[in-house]
Chain A
Amino acid sequence: MSAPASPPPGVLEDRRLIALVAGRRRWDIVFAVAGALLVAASLAVLGVLLATLVRDGAARLAPDSIGGFVSNFPSRFPARAGIRSALAGTALVMFVTMITAIPLGVMAGIYLEEYARKNWVTTVIEINIANLAGVPSIIWGLMALGLFVYTFGLGRSILTAGLTLGLLVLPIVIVATREAIRAIPQGIREASFACGATKLQTVRHHILPYSMPGILTGSIIALSRAIGETAPLITIGALTYIAFLPPAPFTAESKPIPADGESVSAVYSVFHQATAWLQSEFTVLPIQMFNWVSKPNPEFHVNAAATGLILLAVTLVMNTVAITLRYRLRRRIQW
């Protein structure tokens, strides 16, 4: 190929070069536009999703019917069906989930960042956590079914659900904790040690308090993930037609508290009364929605859309809060 002829004096480019460059520039513009369009389309899906749910389900959430929707149990009649049991179930299961995931996750994160030495045990632990993060959620359900429901005998209960989801979101909490701790500069640790503090004291007075905001953000994200999880809960046997609420503490009609002063069984009884709800069967919002959308009767789809709207709103709000928190955090403490 012959070299391009040099342009006449006073001109930067010759004609061939101009055509070449113009061709490439065209691709540039085409791509810029295509990219922007695709981004807009992807974001538009969110909008379409929201709009669909509103179109289909807003009627159920209107001021005159939302009261009934929220306070009714599921029913064979779509107009009378409600999410009361699902709401209660979601709240209780999320409570157990957070109690499981947060302490365990934060402690694991602290260990890995502050205490762990670079030996094979640490490597194995880190590989494990990375793998667990990639396990499909239904496999968690299978594990819970075999292990929690049957081997441990915990049954198809809120306790099982909370434990399962807690372990499922554990990697999220661990990663968030580790990132938050890593942001703390080494100088702070050195200052604490130089004052004579032990490792545990440094963790308690400095590491933990300063990483709290980051841990909080991670917990919110974990919670929002857990609220939307359906598959594992179906697998462990969450029912789709629950017309009762788990027993509130101290109302279960199980063993009455003995009045004869036998302290051990009295303590057991009190414990049993306070925790009977943990052993109760349950349902949660996403399962209720799944149940309704699977019914051929389109009137049930209205209920499904209404539930979906609630779920979507909750998830989006939580994620936005977490993102804003993370953004604010990055600006607040300039280490």
Chain B
Amino acid sequence: MVTRVRSSPVFVEPPPPMPTPIVPIQAPPQEVSPPPTVRASVEDLSFFYGKFQALKSVSMPVYDKRITALIGPSGCGKSTLLRCVNRMHDLYRDARYQGKILLQPGDINLIAPGVDPIAVRMRIGMVFQKPNPFPKSIYENVAFGPRLRGVRDKAKLDHEVEAALRDAALWDEVKGVLQRNAFQLSGGQQQRLCIARALATRPDILLFDEPTSALDPIATGRIEELMLQLRSRVTVIVVTHNMQQASRVSDYTGFMYLGELVEFSPTPRLFQTPAKKLTEQYISGRFG
């Protein structure tokens, strides 16, 4: 199906293309494949905004190249937990961490006092709730990360940008107009651009903070499809308030409530046979 680009300044989301992946994707791993390695482990993590304790002794594993979802009602701390992993809280006053977030291999504690937050953000990527591309060209948006990491050679940059845009399922739509301003893309395309921007930094872990809550249903569907494509290639933690999304997309799910991790298990098990009553109540819509 040919996707025709309109000449009006705002791109409208083109219909989903036929599934012809540029890079062959592995078949989803069978249940009998070897158990996944742990890429990071949150150990007894507590977080304080000033006097208020937002996270209470959270511990959970983050499995390598799997998608881990965090669900829970508003204010339960899932976004707070996510932002601890890439030290975003350090940008604001009065943030205090306790406990450990160990990145493997190497047992590197991301929240140790001596660890530079910039160094952490060089290894961990994030996609935000409201798409926030830079008001620059599409190319420059994606190239920002590699440039920060010292890539200067034009050919190499071109290669990185193309690879990231392909992996974010955006390349076909923008390959002829890389110099156009990112603000002219539709909401869904902007979000995929932000994903490409994060992917271009080759993160150890990619964090998604409610990536589709600001998007319309069609765009949401495309992003979810993209996340499925990233499965088994990138380690992902996604925070979502949409339970169905979590059950569709993730391998593991953690349910949080009032700053605590109530339950954590493989997604099918958490949704079908939750171990805790609270989890069951949330899933069946009793609250939240």
Which residue numbers of A lie inside 8 Å of B, CB to CB?
Answer: 117, 185, 187-198, 201, 205-206, 210, 333-334
Which listed segment binds A: B12-20, B26-34, B143-151, B228-236?
Answer: B143-151
Q: Please tell me which one of the listed residues A188, A194, A205, A206 contacts residue B125 in the complex, with CB atoms under 8 A apart.
A: A194
Q: Which B-chain residue is minimally distant from A206 (CB atoms)?
A: B134
> Are B201 and A196 in contact, with the CB atoms below 8 A?
yes
> Are A191 and B88 in contact, with the CB atoms below 8 A?
no
Interface residue B157 (Cβ < 8 Å from any Cβ of A): no
> Are B130 and A187 in contact, with the CB atoms below 8 A?
yes
Complex Cα–Cα for A205 and B141 (A): 11
> Are A190 and B197 in contact, with the CB atoms below 8 A?
no
Complex Cα–Cα for A192 and B133 (A): 9
Contacts of A205 in B (CB 8 A): 144
Contacts of A189 in B (CB 8 A): 91
25 contacts between A and B (CB under 8 A): A117-B93, A185-B132, A187-B128, A187-B132, A188-B132, A188-B134, A189-B91, A190-B128, A191-B132, A191-B133, A191-B134, A192-B144, A193-B88, A194-B86, A194-B121, A194-B126, A194-B198, A195-B144, A195-B145, A196-B145, A197-B118, A198-B118, A205-B144, A206-B134, A333-B183
Interface residue B262 (Cβ < 8 Å from any Cβ of A): no
> Are A196 and B118 in contact, with the CB atoms below 8 A?
yes
Total A-B pairs in contact (CB under 8 Å)? 57
> Are A192 and B134 in contact, with the CB atoms below 8 A?
yes
Interface residue B165 (Cβ < 8 Å from any Cβ of A): no
> Are B132 and A197 in contact, with the CB atoms below 8 A?
no
Complex Cα–Cα for A141 and B87 (A): 50
> Are A333 and B135 in contact, with the CB atoms below 8 A?
yes
Of A117, A187, A195, A334, most B-chain CB atoms within 10 Å: A195
Of A189, A192, A193, A194, most B-chain CB atoms within 10 Å: A194
Q: Which B-chain residue is minimally distant from A201 (CB atoms)?
A: B148
Q: Min CB distance, A121 to chain B, in Å?
A: 16
Closest 6 CB pairs of A and B: A187-B132, A196-B122, A194-B126, A196-B121, A191-B132, A195-B145
Contacts of B261 in A (CB 8 A): none
Q: Which A-chain residue is minimally distant from B129 (CB atoms)?
A: A187
Complex Cα–Cα for A334 and B10 (A): 13
Asked whether A190 and B91 contact (CB < 8 A) given A196-B148, A205-B144, the answer is: yes
> Are B126 and A210 in contact, with the CB atoms below 8 A?
no
Complex Cα–Cα for A206 and B182 (A): 14
Contacts of B88 in A (CB 8 A): 190, 193-194
Interface residue B194 (Cβ < 8 Å from any Cβ of A): yes
Asked whether A193 and B121 contact (CB < 8 A) given A201-B148, A205-B144, the answer is: yes
Complex Cα–Cα for A197 and B121 (A): 8
Contacts of B183 in A (CB 8 A): 333-334
Q: Min CB distance, A175 to chain B, in Å?
A: 23
Complex Cα–Cα for A198 and B116 (A): 11
Q: Which B-chain residue is minimally distant from A333 (CB atoms)?
A: B135
Complex Cα–Cα for A205 and B148 (A): 10
